[in-house]
Structure 1
Amino acid sequence: MSTKVIRRSQEVPVELGYSDSSLLASIDLSHLPANIETLLLPHTHSSYNPFSIFFTPNAKTPSTPLNTFLLSQISTAKSSINIYTPNLTYTPLINTLFEALTRGIDIRIVVSRKLMIFEQIVTAGTLTEWEVYKMERRYRKLVARSSRRTDDLEAGNNTRIGNLEIVYFNPAFVNVNENNSRSTRGDETMPRRIEDMGMENQPVKLHLKMTVIDNEITVLGSGNMDRASWVTSQEVGVAIFSEQVARRLNAVVRDVYG
């Protein structure tokens, strides 16, 4: 039971970048079954009160299909949760993630650093970096409390706390080189179009929004894990119910973004 917050170099540009949608579009899923179940998850726009971040920052989460589905799947996850998101500032979501940790669910989150700072402050009154710091501190306290419950362990109760890993995306670790080639991979996880894109087009920021639950359910869309996306913005997502798709996307995205 350990937390690992990977702090990589901050000295990287954030204005330019290769489209995350191009990465996903390049992945060959043609060999997968044609009848994979999917579910459209809309999220309607809500009115924004700038004072709400101070007086009611954790008001009830709007019951949109996207919000409801994500919270439900996180709350019922059986083994793992993997999240790629530019920002992470929505407290009710973070609380739900910690509830999952107390059930022994392993969580891995990849986020950006110093991205949309003004927007985060205006819409959430906080920053991703601050929330990550608080999550790290909160997790350590959770693990410490759990380790003291020796009586429960001796009684045979399962009090395992899931592992928490939070990674700051860094383009220096993107698996594309200046020769437009990569080491040969026998499993062909990396799609050819990503191999060919070269250093001049490599991603320099993370704008991907992807959540994978138990390597079985994948949610892709426009919504961040920040307060703006969960409370005020108009977003859309799609859930894909396929272990093959989940594992394929997870492998490719992790190979590129870490």
Structure 2
Amino acid sequence: MRPTTSSPYRRTSDDTSQELAENKNDVPNYYASNPSTLTTSSTVHKFITGTGDDIFSSILPALKSAESEVIFITCFWARSSSLSQLSDTLRALSVRAEARGGWKLRVRIGLSSLSLFQKLFQPHTVRGQTYPPSTWVKKFGLPSPSELKGLDLEIKSVFLLPFSVMHPKFIIVDRKKVFLPSCNVSWESWFEGCIELSGPVVSQFVRFWSEFWAQNDFDRSLPPPPSPPYPSLTSLSPPQTPSPTPTSSSGPAQTHTLLPSHDIQTLFLPSPHHLNPRFAPFTSSPPTSPPTPLNILLLTLLARATTSIYIQTPNLTSPPVLTALLRALRHGVAVHIRTSARLMILEQLVTAGTTTTRCVRKLAKRHRALPFSSESTLDEEARVGLTAPGTLRIEFFEPRVGVNGTAEPQQSHLKLLIVDALVTVLGSGNLDRASWFTSQELGVAFFDGEVAGRVRGAVDQVMEGRMRSHYG
């Protein structure tokens, strides 16, 4: 099913103009005066699940086919098998670029969290810090500059105190194709997802990157394609490069799901960072979250849901989301939540003052108190004329018992929202307080029932035997 222009899930520019006007001081803010520019379309190719290693082993080969440019944005960066895979990819790109001759292949890497020292002492501005080639090996675990002579490589980090990490993760290849993974360059063996995109939506990613990450006007334009006598990289014989780091050919949580090939109505959803966490410990009403495009769209979807809401999120501590879910339950919408009980607990306490477990317990308690719920204390006469609340199902991720090796995911890190089996939102944003109030995030909404069904089916398949029922 594809949405019509009258779909209740769509927001027009008139709906959002007043809210987005508050974003005029955000960085980036190019959409604030005309939110309709975020409306686009996309061709979705594949949805991949697995650990971070599984995801990178699936998508990094596509980077080796780059002709002009690779833009690689992530949040957390650590020495890991994923980093080894990326290093091998960069070596292969460099060797092929040198063999082709001519201009170097441009590679731009952006990240936010490398170490506590980096976050405390780097320049705390949106311009961030750019690192010289002499730091690539020791600081980032990358190949030496002598191994990457065929690349025009720059690495930049941005972090702003106290809590503003740049949380998006995306990869753009030649400004023709985008990969949107949930994983970082990290050692964590977590359950992740990634969607592969092309079409007009790619220009949205390029615009977002150029407005925030690009160092200069030179970076804003794509390098020219190779011209005679230089052959394309893909026409060259495979170079002799170091053997790649061994990886599992198919992890226990790895799936590849083909998605419908038609154009899909799509919304690009940036969510800029904010320095003020808006803590309000002495008020009973939840604080208002910054009206970013991502926050606005998610609240709109939750408010306008008619039948079902499916959520998979690492953590769930955002007050506006919890309030919206309770409201949806009151209106008879079925809510299914899959999250983690013990993921980044210290971070939750620092940024939210609570934990996911506490928040979902409170949500369950409030659901039980709703009229018509199975445990409601209202008598039959008091229930007359009231709408029966929707069902609430809460599950915690747990590793599958009996699966040996590090390939088994230990936590769920996927960020996924599906509303009414029609609208799918993927990206970097968790449904926790940090993502909603301080971190930079990025999401994409797809208005297509077939996409929603195939993505949900792939996730359900992997979650079998990996969920522990908490409520409902």
Residue in 1 aligned with 2:321? 93
Residue in 2 aligned with 1:29? 258
Cα deviation, 1:35-63, whole Å, max 9, x if unaligned, reads 111111000000135x8252568221110
Number of aligned residue pairs: give it.
217
- Equivalent of residue 135 in structure 1, options 363, 384, 396: 363
Deviation at 1:146, TM superposition (A): 6.0
Residue in 2 aligned with 1:7? none
What amino acid does structure 2 have at the position aligned with 1:52? F
CA distance, structure 1, for counterparts of residue 417 and residue 400 of structure 2: 23
Q: Structure 1: any 5+ residue segments left out of the alignment?
A: 1-14, 179-198
Deviation at 1:115, TM superposition (A): 0.8
- Equivalent of residue 279 in structure 2, options 52, 55, 58: 52
CA distance, structure 1, for counterparts of residue 327 and residue 391 of structure 2: 12
- Equivalent of residue 228 in structure 1, options 431, 434, 441: 434
Cα deviation, 1:93-123, whole Å, max 9, x if unaligned, reads 1111011001110000001111111110111
Cα deviation, 1:80-101, whole Å, max 9, x if unaligned, reads 0000001011122111101100
Instruction: Please say if 1:148 is aligned against 2:371.
Output: no
Aligned partners of 1:81 and 1:107 also within 8 Å: yes
Residue in 1 aligned with 2:447? 241
Residue in 1 aligned with 2:266? 38
Cα distance change of structure 1 residues 129 and 19 upon mapping to structure 2, 3 Å threshold: closer
Residue in 2 aligned with 1:216? 422
Deviation at 1:76, TM superposition (A): 0.5
Deviation at 1:152, TM superposition (A): 6.5
Cα distance change of structure 1 residues 225 and 243 upon mapping to structure 2, 3 Å threshold: same
Instruction: Spell out the pairing of 1:45-124 with structure 2 (5 A cutoff).
Output: 45-49=273-277, 52=279, 54-55=281-282, 58-124=286-352
Aligned partners of 2:257 and 2:455 also within 8 Å: no
SS of 2:275's equivalent in the other structure is coil
Deviation at 1:21, TM superposition (A): 3.0
Aligned partners of 2:313 and 2:416 also within 8 Å: yes
Aligned partners of 1:81 and 1:106 also within 8 Å: yes
Cα deviation, 1:201-246, whole Å, max 9, x if unaligned, reads 1221100000000000000010111000011110000001110010
Aligned partners of 1:169 and 1:206 also within 8 Å: yes
> By percentage of residues, which structure has more strand?
2
SS of 1:246's equivalent in the other structure is helix
CA distance, structure 1, for counterparts of residue 454 and residue 271 of structure 2: 26
CA distance, structure 2, for counterparts of residue 232 and residue 130 of structure 1: 21
CA distance, structure 1, for counterparts of residue 363 and residue 317 of structure 2: 11
SS of 1:27's equivalent in the other structure is strand
SS of 1:28's equivalent in the other structure is strand
CA distance, structure 1, for counterparts of residue 282 and residue 377 of structure 2: 36
Q: Structure 2: any 5+ residue segments left out of the alignment?
A: 1-186, 197-254, 465-472
Cα distance change of structure 1 residues 90 and 110 upon mapping to structure 2, 3 Å threshold: same
CA distance, structure 1, for counterparts of residue 348 and residue 190 of structure 2: 22
Cα deviation, 1:115-138, whole Å, max 9, x if unaligned, reads 111110111000011111111111
Residue in 2 aligned with 1:10? none
Aligned partners of 1:29 and 1:245 also within 8 Å: no
SS of 2:289's equivalent in the other structure is coil
SS of 2:412's equivalent in the other structure is coil
CA distance, structure 2, for counterparts of residue 247 and residue 147 of structure 1: 37
What amino acid does structure 2 have at the position aligned with 1:27? H
Identical aligned pairs, as a percentage?
39
> By percentage of residues, which structure has more helix?
1
Residue in 2 aligned with 1:17? 189
CA distance, structure 1, for counterparts of residue 305 and residue 386 of structure 2: 16
Aligned partners of 1:146 and 1:160 also within 8 Å: no
CA distance, structure 1, for counterparts of residue 267 and residue 458 of structure 2: 22
Residue in 1 aligned with 2:76? none
SS of 2:189's equivalent in the other structure is coil
Deviation at 1:139, TM superposition (A): 1.1
What amino acid does structure 2 have at the position aligned with 1:226? D
Query: Radius of gyration: which is bigger?
Result: 2
CA distance, structure 1, for counterparts of residue 303 and residue 266 of structure 2: 20
SS of 1:94's equivalent in the other structure is helix
SS of 2:256's equivalent in the other structure is coil
Report which structure shows greater RCO (CA 8 Å, sep ≥6).
Answer: 1
